[in-house]
Amino acid sequence: MPLAEKALIAQIRRMAKPANSVIRTGIGDDCAVLRLLPAQETLVTTDFTLEGIHFRRDWHPPESVGHRCLTRGLSDIAAMGGEPVAAFLSLALPRDLPQAWVGRFLRSLISLAEKFGVTLAGGDTAESPNGILADIIVVGKAPKGHAVLRSSARPGDRIFVSGELGGSAAAVLQMRTKPKKKVNPRDYRRHFYPEPQIELGRILREKGLASAMIDTSDGLSTDLAHLCEESGMGAELESVLIPRASVGKPAREVDLDLALHGGEDYELLFTARPGKRIPAQIGGVALTHIGHVTRGRTVLLSNLKGVAYQLEPRGWEHFRR
């Protein structure tokens, strides 16, 4: 087995030294930030969608797989406050896959792309020895010097999260623990058809509200740990403030553990300098104050009684022991 995902990326990062001055930020943020044009930064992100890891054909309709595939990339652009421009799709498909599956996957992916003014501008196609593999690359843009990084949080910044957390993981939990019960994607839209927060990210960047930002793809505990590590900071969260999603039928609020560690909600987690006034919502998306940045290098979570525990990153990690 390779190193755990985080250690492996750290090793790659040490090996891949910057070879030119075009790269503002390379490995370590939601997107690479390239300075190819005088007034603009170019954003690039790439994400796998693998059968058996990110989706199952018996759980996910092809429309959901196509939608989530592109959302992974769009969400990384949103996390920089960027505007997406073009997407590239590399597909490896098993020989026995019905063409109808591919058509439904593509129509869904392309209709989401059109909704955000993104052109599918290339990719690669191959036969897969086993299972469906899709890699999405999204290219976006932001005004020079304005892409919002993970690494710029400072002590005293307040921490905010958009929307609600844990709703996507709740669907996976439901499907895993009750395999016989049919899950209706309509009751778990946050899992099957998550909304990339492009508009919100752009407005936070334009108004200069976010000092640092990341999207919640791996889970709050893990994504906040990434933001803190890149900034060389720590954080304190209050458990009562964490906005928990209500999902299922009848809808019920997810447990705190799912909101803290469940991945794939694709919300925005950002920090704001002490003086900035952050509205309660932007464009209908709620913004919740959940804690603040500290010098401590660890993430603490205080409960109702005010007792603080260290919050271990227990979100998604590939090759975790």
H helix or E strand, kind and range, residue 20: none
- Return the number of the residue (50 or 97) whose C-beta is nearest ligand ADP: 50
**Cα–Cα distance for residue pair 125/148, rounded to 1 Å:** 33
Stretch that binds Mg ion, among 154-162, 201-209, 214-222, 288-296 (CB under 5 A): 214-222
Q: Are 55 and 193 in contact (CB under 8 A)?
A: no
Phi then psi for residue 271, to 5 deg, are: -115, 155
Q: How many residues bind ligand ADP (CB under 6 A)?
A: 10
**Contacts (CB under 6 A) with ligand ADP, residues 139-198:** none
Q: Does position 240 bind ligand ADP by CB under 6 A?
A: no
Q: Is residue 29 at the binding interface for Mg ion, with CB under 5 A as the rule?
A: no
> Is residue 270 within 8 Å of residue 163, measured between CB atoms?
no
Give the range of 23-31, 96-104, 111-119, 298-306 binding ligand ADP by CB under 6 A. 23-31
Interaction mask 212-231, ligand ADP, x per CB under 6 A? -----xx-------------
Identify which of 260, 262, 254, 223 has the alpha carbon closest to the alpha carbon of residue 238. 260
Contact between 135 and Mg ion per CB under 5 A: no
Q: Which does 121 bind (CB under 5 to 8 A by kind): Mg ion, ligand ADP, none?
A: none
**Taking CB under 5 A as the rule, does residue 215 contact Mg ion?**
yes
Q: What are phi and psi of 27, to 5 degrees?
A: -65, 135
Burial environment of residue 82 by CB neighbours within 10 A (0 to 12, 13 to 18, 19 or more): buried
**Of 25-33, 228-236, 247-255, 284-292, which part binds ligand ADP (CB under 6 A)?**
25-33
Find the shortest distance in angstroms from Cβ 104 to ligand ADP: 25
Is the separation of the CB atoms in 302 and 308 below 8 Å? yes
Residue 90 burial (CB < 10 Å; 0-12/13-18/19+)? middle
Three-state secondary structure readout of 259-320: HHHCCCCCCEEEEECCCCCCCCEECCEEEEEEEEEECCCCEEEECCCCCEEECCCCCCCCCC
Footprint on residues 57-76 left by ligand ADP (CB under 6 A): 76
HEC string of 21-51 equals CCEEECECECCEEECCCCCEEEEEEEEEEEE
47 binds Mg ion (CB under 5 A): no
Select 255 or 312, whichever has its Cβ closest to ligand ADP.
Answer: 312
With CB atoms as reference, the residue minimizing the distance to Mg ion is 30
Contact 284, 189 (CB under 8 A): no
What gap in Å lies between CA 321 and CA 315, rounded to an integer? 13
CA geometry: angle 9, 10, 12, nearest 5 deg:
60
To the nearest whole angstrom, how small is the minimum distance from the Cβ of residue 73 to ligand ADP? Answer: 8
List the one residue from 4, 28, 137, 238 that touches ligand ADP (CB under 6 A).
Answer: 28
- Pick the binder of Mg ion from 41, 47, 76, 230 (CB under 5 A): 76
Q: What is the smallest separation between the CB atom of 217 and ligand ADP, expressed in angstroms?
A: 5
30 near Mg ion (CB under 5 A): yes
Min separation Cβ 261 and ligand ADP, Å: 15
Applying CB under 5 A, which residues contact Mg ion? 30, 76, 215, 217
Binding site for ligand ADP (CB under 6 A): 9, 12, 27-30, 47, 76, 217-218
